[in-house]
């Protein structure tokens, strides 16, 4: 049996890493247990978008707290994660989508963000490489991108420097609670004792919550991602169709990273999500319509990841109702790269002071005891995934 620590975190993704970082900075003894390696899952495989506009309104306070941390991240971690404040363009090609843009812009402005609404003439002047069938777009200059392959290991290294212990290839197989503390059993490293336990197990977080009798409907999926050969660098902002079909960004080395939707359900019982070739082809067609110069690019690599989705498309964050000292932070529904620093900071508040100034009530696991309003798009995907 390893010695007792204040907090054990299950999961060495970005949420586990930021939680460890903030707790260690606060002087707490913290141990992270990761069954694979740091950033092995969604946190290392994602698209790398740090977008504020277009958020679910319930996420804005958390998102803004997170973005402020990203903005000082390289100073905080002491290394580059290829963070660029590129700005982000939301693109409408149909008239009815322009209303959606207006709606997103209004919500974002309500949270203090500066959003520019650009019509066809302004778009042609500013981004002459864009195709001609674009009706309008919104631009938020505070939106940014970073390299997910670099970010999670960098945060974890910073946490380690502050005293956090990180154990990789260490799967948590059981959790008990005796004499006021958690006993965490692993398959390879014996057991650990802790006063607090953080469930940051990503798409597998629902399994751990269920060990405590807290069941939530979740499914695992990933959007197909691919990258092209390097091409002359022309596209500075990241760009996204407001219909949700395609998102892309060009990195200064010239490669274009693209994500095509809808998501694909992950393989049951495995940590893989396949990328159907048809999705790559259709996303490349859309890319060619938006930026004709990129239409003939060769795709050199495809991948995806395993992300946890909940029916209402917002994560589970906050204290458990079943067990004092247990905190959940999982099921980020495709938004966790951006909000992870905010979640880590909030969990540190809760564990070290018992409360937080950031509103997180909407994310409480108890909402699934009542009627949850399902997000229509994700509910359809849930059904398809159950039917497979
Ligand atoms: C393809 C793709 C693109 C995305 N693009 C974006 C984007 O552009 N912007 C954005 O904001 N978000 C994006 N996301 C979502 C984002 O990547 C995730 O929400 C975020 O990384 C979740 O972090 P996490 O730490 O909760 O999960 P993870 O990174 O999955 O980490 C959880 C960890 O827990 C470990 N674990 C699980 N069970 C156990 C156990 N029993 N014992 C020990 N360890 C365990 C796993 O091995 C894993 O490493 C994307 C996701 C995907 C899949």
Q: In this structure, what CATH number is given to the domain that contains residue 233?
A: 3.30.9.10
In a domain, 201, yes or no: yes
For residue 383, is pLDDT > 80?
Answer: no
Whole-angstrom Cα distance, residue 132 to residue 121?
10
Whole-number pLDDT of residue 375: 82
Whole-number pLDDT of residue 270: 77
Whole-number pLDDT of residue 380: 77
In a domain, 372, yes or no: yes
What does the block give as tokens for 119?
A: 């019509």
Whole-number pLDDT of residue 271: 82
Segment 198-215 mean pLDDT:
97
Contact by Cβ (8 Å): 299, 227: yes
Whole-angstrom Cα distance, residue 359 to residue 59?
9
Ligand 1 in reach of 320 Cβ (< 6 A): no
Nearest CA to ligand 1 atom 25: 13
Q: How confident is the model at residue 1 (pLDDT cuts 50, 70, 90)?
A: low
| CA nearest neighbour of 206 among 103, 315, 101 | 315
Domain limit, last residue, from 250, 272, 303: 303
Domain limit, last residue, from 283, 303, 323: 303
In a domain, 269, yes or no: yes
Ligand 1 in reach of 338 Cβ (< 6 A): yes
Per residue in 50-94, pLDDT (tens digit) is: 999 999 999 999 999 999 999 999 998 899 999 999 999 999 999
Whole-number pLDDT of residue 373: 81
Domain range for residue 157? 4-51+149-218+310-387
Residue 120 CA, ligand 1 centroid: distance in Å? 37
How many domains are there within the chain? 2
Whole-number pLDDT of residue 388: 56
Whole-angstrom Cα distance, residue 197 to residue 52?
30
Whole-angstrom Cα distance, residue 275 to residue 282?
12
Which atom of ligand 1 is the closest one to the Cα of 37?
49
For residue 386, is pLDDT > 60?
Answer: no
Per residue in 104-143, pLDDT (tens digit) is: 999 999 999 999 999 999 999 999 999 989 999 999 999 9
For residue 355, is pLDDT > 70?
Answer: yes
Q: How confident is the model at residue 379 (pLDDT cuts 50, 70, 90)?
A: confident
Segment 25-49 mean pLDDT:
98
Contact by Cβ (8 Å): 286, 246: yes
Is residue 297 located within the same domain as residue 328?
no
Is residue 181 located within the same domain as residue 35?
yes
For residue 2, is pLDDT > 70?
Answer: no
- The partner residues of 193 in beta bridges, in order of sequence, read 4, 183
For residue 4, is pLDDT > 90?
Answer: no
Length of the chain: 388
Ligand 1 in reach of 304 Cβ (< 6 A): yes
Ligand 1 in reach of 345 Cβ (< 6 A): no
In a domain, 367, yes or no: yes
What backbone torsions phi and psi does residue 100 show, to the nearest 5 degrees? -65, -40
Domain limit, last residue, from 274, 303, 332: 303
Is residue 212 located within the same domain as residue 246?
no
Is residue 270 located within the same domain as residue 373?
no
Whole-number pLDDT of residue 298: 97
Q: How confident is the model at residue 370 (pLDDT cuts 50, 70, 90)?
A: confident
Residue 214 CA, ligand 1 centroid: distance in Å? 20
Per residue in 139-187, pLDDT (tens digit) is: 999 999 999 999 999 999 999 999 999 999 999 999 999 989 999 999 8
In a domain, 353, yes or no: yes
Instruction: Taking each helix axis as running N to C, give the angle between helix 60-71 and helix 336-353, from 0 to 180 degrees, rounded to the nearest 10.
Output: 100
Mean pLDDT of the chain: 95
Residue 241 CA, ligand 1 centroid: distance in Å? 24
Whole-number pLDDT of residue 57: 95
Is residue 247 located within the same domain as residue 298?
yes
Nearest CA to ligand 1 atom 33: 11
pTM: 0.97
CATH assignment at residue 21: 3.50.50.60
Q: How far apart are the first and last CA of the chain?
A: 42
Ligand 1 in reach of 186 Cβ (< 6 A): no
Q: What angle is formed at CA 273 by the lines to CA 188 and CA 270, rounded to 5 degrees? A: 30
Q: How confident is the model at residue 374 (pLDDT cuts 50, 70, 90)?
A: confident
What does the block give as tokens for 327?
A: 């905190």
Q: How confident is the model at residue 189 (pLDDT cuts 50, 70, 90)?
A: very high
CB environment 122-151: b (16+ within 10 A), e (fewer): ebeeebeebbeebbbbbbbebbbbbbbbbb
In a domain, 262, yes or no: yes
The helix/strand/coil state of 224 is coil
Whole-number pLDDT of residue 193: 97
In a domain, 79, yes or no: no
The helix/strand/coil state of 14 is helix
Is residue 382 located within the same domain as residue 348?
yes
In a domain, 66, yes or no: no
What sign does the dihedral 146-309-353-162 (CA atoms) show? negative
Q: How confident is the model at residue 269 (pLDDT cuts 50, 70, 90)?
A: confident
């Amino acid at each position: 049996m390893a010695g007792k620590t204040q907090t054990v975190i299950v999961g060495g993704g970005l949420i586990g890493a930021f939680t460890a970082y903030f707790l260690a900075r606060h002087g707490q003894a913290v141990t992270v247990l990761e069954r694979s390696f740091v950033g092995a899952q969604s946190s290392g495989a994602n698209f790398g978008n740090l977008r504020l506009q277009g958020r679910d309104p319930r996420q804005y306070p958390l998102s803004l707290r997170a973005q402020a941390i990203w903005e000082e991240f390289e100073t905080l971690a002491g290394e580059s994660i290829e963070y660029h404040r590129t700005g982000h363009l939301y693109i409408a090609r149909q008239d009815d989508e322009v209303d959606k843009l207006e709606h997103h812009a209004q919500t974002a402005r309500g949270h203090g963000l500066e959003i520019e609404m650009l019509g066809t003439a302004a778009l042609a002047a500013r981004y002459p490489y864009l195709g001609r069938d674009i009706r309008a777009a919104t631009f938020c200059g505070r939106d940014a991108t970073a390299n997910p392959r670099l970010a999670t290991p960098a945060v974890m290294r910073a946490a380690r420097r502050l005293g956090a212990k990180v154990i990789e290839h260490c799967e948590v197989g059981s959790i008990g609670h005796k004499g006021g503390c958690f006993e965490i059993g692993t398959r390879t490293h014996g057991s650990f004792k802790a006063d607090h336990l953080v469930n940051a197990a990503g798409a597998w977080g629902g399994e751990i919550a269920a060990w405590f009798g807290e069941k939530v409907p979740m499914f695992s999926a990933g959007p197909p991602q691919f990258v092209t050969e390097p091409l002359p660098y022309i596209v500075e902002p990241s760009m996204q169709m407001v219909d949700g079909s395609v998102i892309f960004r060009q990195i200064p080395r010239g490669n274009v990273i693209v994500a095509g939707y809808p998501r694909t359900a992950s393989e049951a019982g495995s940590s893989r999500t396949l990328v159907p070739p048809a999705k790559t082809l259709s996303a490349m067609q859309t890319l060619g319509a938006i930026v004709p110069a990129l239409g003939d690019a060769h795709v050199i690599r495809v991948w995806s990841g395993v992300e946890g989705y909940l029916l209402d498309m917002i994560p589970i964050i906050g204290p458990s109702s079943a067990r004092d000292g247990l905190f959940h932070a999982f099921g980020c529904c495709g938004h966790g790269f951006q909000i992870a620093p905010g979640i880590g900071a909030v969990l540190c508040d809760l564990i070290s002071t018992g409360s937080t100034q950031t509103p997180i009530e909407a994310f409480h696991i108890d909402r699934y005891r009542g009627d949850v309003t399902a997000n229509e798009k994700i509910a359809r995907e849930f059904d398809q995934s159950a039917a497979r």
